[in-house]
Amino acid sequence: MTFDVNQIRSQFPILSRQVNGKPLVYLDSGASAQKPDCVINAMSDFMSTSYANVHRGLHTLSNEATNAFEDARKATENFINANEGEVVFTKGATEALNLLAYTLGQSLVPGDEIVITELEHHANIVPWQMLAMRSGAVVKWAKINDDGALNLEHFKSLLSEKTKIVSFAHISNVLGTRLPIKEMANMAHEIGAKVIIDGSQGIVHEKVDVKDIDCDFYVFSSHKLYGPSGIGVLYGKFAELNKLPPFLGGGEMIETVTQEGVTFNEPPFRFEAGTPPITEAVGLKSAIDWISAQDRDAIHAHEKELLIAATEAIRKNNRVKILGETIDKAAILSFVVDGVHPHDISQILDKYGVAIRAGHHCAQPLMTRMGVNASARASFAAYNTLQEVEIFAKSLEKAIEFLT
C-alpha cells in the first residue's frame, strides 16, 4: 500500500479552510485530531436515519441503534485485540482513569503504594492523588532522565510488596517519549501490582495489542484517534473487570433493583450507567475502520519524517531548546524559546495560519522536572506535510524576530 498524504488530506474537509487569510496548518493533533469525511458522515447518517436509545427498546430504531453501538464495541475489541466483554465505553480517557481509581481504590489501605511516572498527564496523576487522600495510600514517582527517557532502574526500585497499582503513559503527550510498556508491565506483575496504561497518545502512533502487552487495563480517547470527542475506551481483562464494583449507579448497570437492594450487571455494562454516547460510538467505529484501512507502518514512517524535518529546522536557531530527545520518539515536538513566552509564540503563529499548543499541556510536574513553566508543542498526524513543516519553521523564525 502506497502512502499518499494528499489523498489522506482530501478526506479531511477542515484542512481546506483558511485562518487569518492563510492556509490552515494544523499541528495540534496531540490535543485533538481532525476528523475525516467518513466519521462526519457516519454520525450524520446515523442521527438522520437510525437514532434511538439502545439496549432496552423493542422497536426498529432502537434495535438498529443497539446494533450500531455494539458493532462499535466489537470493532474496538478487534482493533486492540481484546476479548468480548473487555471494552467499556466511557466519555474519555480521563473518566476511564477516574473509574479505575475509584473502583480499584476501594481495596487500598493506608501504606499501600501507587507508582506513576514524571511523564504523566494530569489525568493519570490527579485521580491517584485523590485516591491517596481518601485511602491513606502513597503515590510514588518514577524519575525520567534529562533526555526525557524513563529511568527504568529507578522505576524498578520503587516496586515492592506495598505496590498495588502501577499506572503510566504509553507515549508522553509532551515529550513524545515511548515507554517500555511491556517490560514495565512485567516488572509490576512480578510483585503482584495491577497495571494500567494511559494509551491516549499510544493508540494513535502505534498498533496496540493488549494481549501482547499483557496489561490489566488500557485506556484511550476517541478524539485523538480521528474520531469524535465525548467517548473513550477502558479495556480491562474480563477477570479484572468482573472483580470491580460499579463506578456510577443508574440504568443499564443493574441486573435487578428492589426496595431491599440491587444486583449489578456483568461487565462491560456494569460500568455504563445511563444513556451511553451512542452517536459518538458510531463515529469511533468509523474512525477505527478508517485508520485500520491505512498502512499504519507508512503513517509511522511519514510522521517520523515530519518530526525529523521539524526538529532539524527549529534547532538551527540557538535560542530554541527542544524538550525530549529520545530515540524513536513519537511525532510530538515540544520546545521553548529563550526569553519568549510560549503563549506569545502560539498567538503569532496563528497569524500565519499555524495552530500549535502552548502551556503546561496538563503535565505540570513534567514541566517542573524539565525546568520550565510552559512550552510550545507541535504535534504531527497522518495528514500533515513537509510543506507545512517548512511553513511552521519559517513562521516560528518570524515570531522569534518579532518578539525579541
- Which residues are part of the catalytic machinery? 362
Nearest by Cα to 177 from 217, 231, 119, 125: 119
- State the angle between helix axes of 386-403 and 342-351 in degrees (0 to 180), rounded to the nearest 10: 120
Nearest by Cα to 281 from 98, 52, 58, 76: 76
Torsion of CA 144, 210, 283, 268, to 10 degrees: -110
CA 6 to chain centre: 26
Distance between CA atoms of residues 26 and 175, nearest Å: 19
DSSP β-bridge partners for residue 264: 254
Q: What is the DSSP letter of 145?
A: -
Distance between CA atoms of residues 83 and 73, nearest Å: 11
Residue labelled with grid coordinates 502512533 = 205
C-alpha distance across the termini of the chain, in Å: 47
